[in-house]
Amino acid sequence: MSKDILSARNDFPILSSQVNGFPLVYLDNAATTQKPQSVIDAISNYYSTINSNIHRGNHTLAIQATDAYENVRKKVATYINAASPDEIIFTRGTTESINLVAYSFGEAFVKPGDEIIVTQLEHHSNYVPWQLMCQRKGASFKVVPFDENGDLDLEILADMLSEKTRLLAVNHISNSLGTINPVEKIVRMAHAAGVPVLVDAAQAVQHTLHDVQVIDADFYVFSGHKMFAPMGIGVLYAKEKWLEALPPFISGGNMIDQVTPEKITFNVLPFKFEAGTSNVADVVGLGAALDYINSFDFQAIQAYEEDLLDFGEELLSTIPGLKIYGNPKRRSAILPFNIEGIQHFDLGILLDTKGIAVRTGQHCTQPIMDALRIPGTVRASLALYNTREDLEQLAHGIERIIRRIRS
């Protein structure tokens, strides 16, 4: 039987704490989510009972640690519906996953005169690695703009796709505006032009559709820490044909088959892309986080978060002088706004004095802020443990600040 979402808050010990003498209202989930006790316990139990290096030892602890690690690979494959666990590569996070693909794909398939397409909605992590790769390889860097509502202009994308296009990189959900991009449609468009697609799912994999076979992405990347798992662990999913074709990104132990002065051969998938000592404890934590998410009905999570987002939009829109940015066809879990006459950074500090945690700034999306002609926003972002009371506290906090400043 699935857990009741309204009970989720009790599973996160930090949410019962106080900040600056006030109960914590945590609304910075797009940056990182808090961790349930089950994830904390899984990491502690790993270090307390089976800590060992993996894949290399034949003693009991090494075998148990290897089994724990590889079992999580299977859980990830099931969660995103990969065709095989061998298509799951563990990385340090979304940023490393994208850099791995940008480096390896660029080395193998990009030459002078080719083109890479990204979008104006991207986090710097899905923008800069492609820009740098284009500079290295002599390729052209193309950017799909978004419209006045915060939706990508797919007609422009269709015109940009050509025989010169080697790859399209797009996020599923914008970390700044919350725009849910129609990635299935975008992937179909790109594939019809013979172009592979990388989908940045860092903001999506815990909130919305994450079936990679339905999306049909060639590459699909995300971070554990945005879905209740520890920091420092992430996932690169790639279709097996690409993993076989790409050269390794990092070399060293575990990714080697044979080494001689004359020749190097690489290990089988997925180990070809997992050089060095693995972050076993945090992989175990990722597995516990997936178990936690799976203890709920995922459609119920989506419905709850959509209701919470609608409530928050309606509540904030009643505050005089508050502007919410973007009006996309579909938005997820993110409320970006500013208050007329109050600098976003100052508002974040003042809210923190009341125990309300939001994010301020450009959110690693300067192209978005430049397009909006603003220096940054205040961003309130939601997770399944947030409540209407959290949003009411945010609104009351903003109203108190406005009264104090304007009195």
Nearest one of 323, 291, 370 to 71, comparing CA atoms: 291
CA 186 to chain centre: 18
288: its two tokens: 């516990």
Residue 364 designated active-site: yes
Residues 29, 317: Cα–Cα separation, whole Å: 21
Torsion of CA 86, 92, 94, 95, to 10 degrees: -130
The reply to whether omega before 270 is within 30° of 0 (cis) is yes
What backbone phi and psi angles, to 5 degrees, belong to 122? -80, 145
**C-alpha to C-alpha distances, 373 to 78, 168, 176, 253, 368, nearest whole angstrom:** 42, 26, 14, 48, 9
How many CB atoms sit inside 10 A of residue 310's CB? 11
What backbone phi and psi angles, to 5 degrees, belong to 258? -135, 140
Would you say 89 and 77 are in contact if contact means Cβ atoms under 8 Å apart? Answer: no
Annotated active-site residue in 143, 293, 357, 364: 364
Looking at residue 268, the DSSP 8-state letter turns out to be P
Residues 225, 214: Cα–Cα separation, whole Å: 24
Write the Ramachandran bin of 317: left for phi over 0, alpha for psi from -120 to 50, otherwise beta. Answer: alpha
Positions marked active-site: 364
